[in-house]
Each structure stands twice: as C-alpha cells, then as structure tokens.
Amino acid sequence: MARSPLSRSPRRALPAVAAAVLIPLAACGGGDKGEEGGAPAGKNTRLTVLAAASLTDVFEQAGKAYEEGHPGVRIDFSFAGSQELAAQVRQGAPADALVTADTRTMDGLADEAGDPTVIAKNRLVIAVEEGNPKKVESLKDLAGEQLKLVLAAEEVPVGRYGRQILDAQKLTVEPVSQEVSVRAVLSKVELGEADAGLVYRTDAETAPDKVDAVGIPDAQNAVASYPAATLKGSEHAEEADAFVQWLSSDEAQELLRKAGFQQP
C-alpha cells in the first residue's frame, strides 16, 4: 500500500492539519542540565518540530536518535509542505522549531523565527512509474501531450523549483494536478494516477519498488536548501536551540547523507 502523502509515525508525529489545536506543551522549569544536554534534572520536555514533508522518513530516524542521546526530551514532528508550515507559524500554532525545504519560506518568517542554519541540500528528479513505461528520459519529455504529469503547487518549494527548471528549458507543460506537498506528488505516481512528477531525489528513494527516478543533469537542475530555526514563540527555547544545533552534528549529518541528502 502506498504511504500517505504526509505519512508519519503514529507515536511521534502530529497531523499538520491539526496544528491549530495542538495540545499545549508542558512548560520546562529550571534546574541543572544533565550530562547529555537533555532536559533539566527531573523534568521532561516535549518539543514540537514543524518540518518539510520531504524530511518525513529521515527525521523520524533522527528524532529517535536524538531522544536516545538526550534523556528527558521527546520530539513530536508535524510534516507538511513548507508553505503550510509557515501559515501555521504565522497563525501562532504552538511549536518549537521549524525546518523548511527552501530559504525563501524561512526568510519570510524573520519575525517569528531565530537565525536559521542550512542543514542539508537536495536536488530534483523525475519520478515515473516503475519500469518507466512512458519512456521518460529528460525534462523535454514532460511536455508530451499524452503524458500525465503532476507537479506541486507553485507556492510549495518543490513546485517552485520544478517550474524554475522547466522555464529555464523553455518547456510548457500542463499538469493534471498541482499538489500541496512533494509527498502528494510522489503518491500520485505511486498509485498510477500520474505518469510522472517532479520530486526530490530523496523522496523517490523512499519508494524504490513503486517508482523509478530519472535523473536531471546538474546544469538543468535546481538545488533545494533546508534551513532550520528555533521559533521565537517556543516555551522551550533552550531545548529547541539544542535540537536545531544537533541537526548539524556528525550524527545527524550521517543520517541525512544515508537518506540521500547532500551536505549543506
């Protein structure tokens, strides 16, 4: 069965659509820090991290690794398109940190977020049905009249990147749908509802038995940067800062590289 576009671990992740009604997190009191840099002695802290949908799989792994090394800290993720996450932040959804799939979205939240740090980079590929029955070999094939192409909406980072590279090649395409996240695009291809879609390389790698990835030459591609920042409204700013900083650590970077992300 194909994964939901915004699939997540039932224990750890919070539905993006319910961000406005997230359960208030218990405030973290004072006290001494443990040796591992976790919550103050005798205290438990739950961090809510809003993260781009393309980070779903790797962040679920990263969250477990972080919790193991930081006793007393629990992390709940809410995955969605970066534009949805930004809207949640502007509406005051209770959260502690944010990771988007582009710097443009993060830069637009300067009043709500601290100084961002780019933790990873990514590139686009053409996701096609397994076996590539439509014989898609390059970007120009996406303009074929008989091809059912799906893209992310223009306000979604991967949708903006996709149109950027198509425009650079002077290609006019007519997508059959425009989705709210990269995972929604991938799902359309997995389910056979589209012949091809522009997704991040890392997303295509999460479904190797359902889709194939057609590479795009670097000269025709776009590079996606993933900035992370602590939200100024966080009730656990110190712990949120520690998690954001950890994302640049060797341990976190190794997980990101194994998932196919590029170094920042």
* Shared domain check, 205 and 232: no
**Structure confidence by residue, pLDDT tens digits, 2-42:** 333 333 333 344 444 344 334 333 333 333 444 444 444 44
How many domains does one find in the chain? 2
* Shared domain check, 232 and 219: no
Residue 2 phi, psi (nearest 5): -70, 145
Contact yes or no for 255/61 (Cβ under 8 A): yes
* Shared domain check, 148 and 175: yes
Looking up tokens 């049905």 gives: 129
Pairwise CA distance, residues 255 & 237, whole Å: 24
* Shared domain check, 128 and 117: no
* Shared domain check, 25 and 106: yes
In a domain, 3, yes or no: no
Contact yes or no for 5/186 (Cβ under 8 A): yes
**Structure confidence by residue, pLDDT tens digits, 203-258:** 999 999 999 999 999 999 999 999 999 999 999 999 999 999 999 999 999 999 99
In a domain, 254, yes or no: yes
pTM assigned to the model: 0.82
| Domain span at 78 | 16-121+226-258
**Which is nearest to 89 in space by CA: 26, 14, 154, 19?**
19
In a domain, 50, yes or no: yes
Looking up tokens 């690794």 gives: 65
**Which is nearest to 125 in space by CA: 138, 115, 113?**
138
**Which is nearest to 43 in space by CA: 246, 245, 238?**
238
Contact yes or no for 211/189 (Cβ under 8 A): yes
pLDDT tier for residue 262 given thresholds of 50, 70 and 90? very high
* Shared domain check, 134 and 115: no
